[in-house]
Amino acid sequence: MKPASRAVHSGREIKARTPLAPAITPAAVHVYADLDDYEAVASGERPGYFYGRNSNENRSMLEAAIAELEGAEAAVSSASGMAALHMAILALAPRPTTIVATRELYGGTLSLLRQDLEPSGYEPVFVDVLDLDAVSAALNGAGLVLLETITNPLCRVPDVEAIVGIAKERGVPVLVDNTFATPILCRPIELGADVVMHSATKYIGGHSDLLAGIVAGDAKTIAAARARSVRMGGTLGAFDAWLALRGLRTLEVRIRRHSENSLALAKALRDMPGVAAVHHPLLEGSPSYEVARRLLPDGAGGMLAFDLAGGRAAVQRMMKRFRMVSFAASLGGVETTISYPEITSHRGLSPAERAELGVGSGTVRVSTGIEAVEDIVADFEQALAG
């Protein structure tokens, strides 16, 4: 099946006389009438559910669907993308080691590495992942590589295929945050990555109404991640799992529109007053253009960024003039929203660190929605008009 059909059908079997829309099972616990039966289910010998922290029908459906879409053997969900990321790192690197990560990293991930993992002995090393020589040098003696398929906020695309090749030669596992690309546009496991994680809060859910995370990979790694997740307790609630699966069913059509709209908006923004630079991987001249065309042949999703020459004052002025677009510190919803990395995703970095990444006081990140592209472009045009 093609990804569009898998998004609709994966994780379930449609049978006669069963509901087409799955039921929500919020039960914390299931009742048993036989000790042997309970033991068989609790030990995994027999399929079934017994306690909500261990497993739940809605979570199982979501996990099976994402595993299928990512081309992975298994998946495990969690209460948020950050919980998924933590779970994935501990599954691949359970003991302190060097983690080579993209320097243009989601701010929450950077904080997790610096404030939680570094004090427990891990050593994060940040590299420019567009520079394969730098990646290669950093990988000596490393225990994990952490990449984002499309980086946040400047939307660069590392050559995951080439980096996986270098990492494999050294026996270093590769973890990819595939939140921005989704399995519709890129399936890193097919490119050789070991594990993929998502903030399902974003495109998979797609409607800004849930928090969820998911990790997909080989059965052994996911079983270890699941066991730890049961012990630590950051499990996903049934309703959010149900909503995430509901969102997933329309992921392909949404992503197609997000991708078309973001590229059209990126092109239009280049000619708007006050715009100093536009960052979109499929814009000619982007440092990621060639890699993005190869790794993201069906589009680059809804994210883009641009720099306003007038800095924070110009961003503030544009925001106040928007009629349809809103400011919201998240992404991946059906509405077009902007965020301002200096005080949102990248607020934990010093001004010098932000400057090194190319994130300045005029940098705006856009999560392009699925509205009519004419309306999106027109709103930016009138908001930026002199």
Ligand X SMILES: Cc1ncc(COP(=O)(O)O)c(C=O)c1O
Cα separations in angstroms, 226 against 62, 77, 295, 354, 357: 14, 8, 30, 35, 35
Q: Which residue is nearest to ligand X (CB)?
A: 81
Residues 106-145 that bind ligand X (CB under 6 A): 106, 108
Q: Is the CB of 181 or the CB of 272 nearer to ligand X?
A: 181
Verify whether residue 122 is a known catalytic residue: no
Give the nearer residue to ligand X in terms of CB position, either 106 or 380. Answer: 106
Minimum separation from the CB atom of position 160 to ligand X (A): 14
Q: Under rule CB under 6 A, which residues in 212-231 are in contact with ligand X?
A: 213
For ligand X, give the closer residue by CB, 82 or 308: 82
80 binding ligand X? (CB under 6 A): yes
* Strand duo 98-102 + 123-127: pairing: parallel
User: In angstroms, what is the minimal distance from the CB of 156 to ligand X?
Assistant: 13
CA distances from 184 to 38, 69, 203, 249, 295 (A): 39, 8, 10, 12, 12
59 in active site: no
Torsion of CA 40, 45, 47, 51, to 10 degrees: 50
Q: How many residues bind ligand X (CB under 6 A)?
A: 15
The pattern of x and - marking residues 229 through 268 that bind ligand X according to CB under 6 A reads: ----------------------------------------
203 is catalytic: no
Q: Nearest Cα to 134, choosing from 97, 106, 166, 93?
A: 166
Does residue 201 bind ligand X (CB under 6 A)?
yes
Residues 144-183 that bind ligand X (CB under 6 A): 148, 152, 177, 179-180
- Residue 80 vs 182, nearer CB to ligand X: 80
| Nearest to 270, CA basis, from 259, 258, 280 | 280
Q: Is 199 in the site for ligand X (CB under 6 A)?
A: yes
Q: Is 104 in the site for ligand X (CB under 6 A)?
A: no
In the region spanning residues 345 to 364, those forming contacts with ligand X, defined by CB under 6 A, are none
Determine the interface stretch with ligand X among 77-85, 134-142, 241-249, 367-375 (rule: CB under 6 A).
77-85
**Least spacing, CB of residue 149 vs ligand X, in Å:** 9
Residue 234 vs 299, nearer CB to ligand X: 234
Q: Give the Cβ contact number of residue 35 at 10 Å.
A: 8
Q: How far is the CB of 85 from ligand X (least distance, A)?
A: 6
CB of 24 to ligand X, least distance (A): 21
Among 81, 124, 237, 341, binds ligand X (CB under 6 A): 81
Q: Is residue 211 part of the contact set for ligand X (CB under 6 A)? A: yes
375 flagged as catalytic: no
Identify which of residues 150 and 238 has a Cβ nearer to ligand X in the complex.
150
- Does 25 interact with ligand X (rule: CB under 6 A)? no
Which region, judged by CB under 6 A, interacts with ligand X, from 55-63, 79-87, 124-132, 161-169? 79-87
Taking CB under 6 A as the criterion, the residue among 82, 113, 186, 305 binding ligand X is 82
Residue closer to ligand X (CB basis): 203 or 268: 203
State the residues that interact with ligand X by CB under 6 A: 80-82, 85, 106, 108, 148, 152, 177, 179-180, 199, 201, 211, 213
Annotated catalytic residues are 53, 106, 177, 202
